[in-house]
Structures are given as C-alpha cells and as structure tokens.
Amino acid sequence: MATTKLGFIVQRTPYKSENTKLALTHAISSQSVEVYLNDGDLVTADIAFVGDGVLNCLKNQKAMEKYGLTSTESHIKNCLLLDLNVMVCKEDLDKFGLSENDIVMDAEEFGADMTVKVVPFSEITKMMEDVNHLLFF
C-alpha cells in the first residue's frame, strides 16, 4: 500500500501546442491507473497553473465552436469532477488583472464538489516539495 504523488505544473498559454491539453488529460488518467497497480496502491496528480499558464483558466472558451476541439476550460472541469486538486497562482492572476470571476472555479453543473483553489505561489512551492515527481508543461 503506497502512494506516489505527481505534481503537474502548467506554465504556458493554451492552444499553441497540445502542451496544456496533454497535461490535463494525463493528470486525469491518474484516476484509472489502478488497473496496473496492486490493491491499495495509488498515483495522485495535483495540478498548478503558474505564469502565463493561468490564462488556461479563463471562462467562456469557444474552442469547440470555433475549431471542434475540447477547450482547456472543459478539461479543467473534468479535473474537478474527478476530485483532482487544481491550484491557480494568485500573484499571476493579479499580474494579469484577473479575479475569481474571470476564471473557471467550479464544475457545479456536472455535480463536482471540488473547486479551483487560488493560492499564493508559496503554496505551489509546498506542493512541489511534497510530491514525489514533477512534470512541467
């Protein structure tokens, strides 16, 4: 019975490459990893958006309407639905003049209990120290 903790750090804007999308879909796959593991063993995925990466979290992304592509917004909602820990750096939101009103904070419409946590960078540093491995996107 062991748990391996992974920290996913998203530092870049969405939609340039598949970078952000792959970060979130890989983090989500932590929910099905048990098929490969022994009973009781776990892999957890915490996600933090930092720097330009906070722009991934803006509301009202029309990627599906415009390009037929799942939006980062809906991937974040999926993460919440699957009870992943999603953090957004407060200092970076402040830098862009963004508040909790501008970003995805919950996925209530899908019945998710988890909400996005807007936290100072120091909290994200703590997460980075706490996890076993870091994956920067």
Question: Which member of 1, 97, 101, 109 binds other proteins (CB under 8 A)?
Answer: 97
Q: How many CB atoms lie within 10 A of CB 78?
A: 19
Q: Residues 52-81: x/- map of binding to other proteins (CB under 8 A)?
A: x--x--xxxxxxxxxxxxxx-x--------
Distance of CA 29 to the CA centre of its chain: 12
Q: Return the number of the residue (63 or 114) whose C-beta is nearest other proteins.
A: 63
Q: Return the number of the residue (55 or 86) whose C-beta is nearest other proteins.
A: 55
Distance of CA 14 to the CA centre of its chain: 12
Q: Residues 6-45: x/- map of binding to other proteins (CB under 8 A)?
A: x--x-xxxxxxxxx-xxx-xx-xxx-xx-xxx---x-x-x
CB 94 within 8 A of CB 52: no
Question: Which member of 108, 110, 120, 136 binds other proteins (CB under 8 A)?
Answer: 136
Q: Which of 83, 104, 15, 78 is nearest to 52 (CA)?
A: 15
Which residues have C-beta within 8 Å of that of residue 76, sequence separation ≥ 6?
24, 56, 57, 86, 104, 107, 116
Give the count of alpha carbons within 13 A of 19, CB side only: 16
Binding residues with other proteins: total (CB under 8 A): 61
Which parts of this chain interact with other proteins (CB under 8 A)?
Answer: 2, 4, 6, 9, 11-19, 21-23, 25-26, 28-30, 32-33, 35-37, 41, 43, 45, 50-52, 55, 58-71, 73, 95-97, 121, 125, 128-129, 132-137
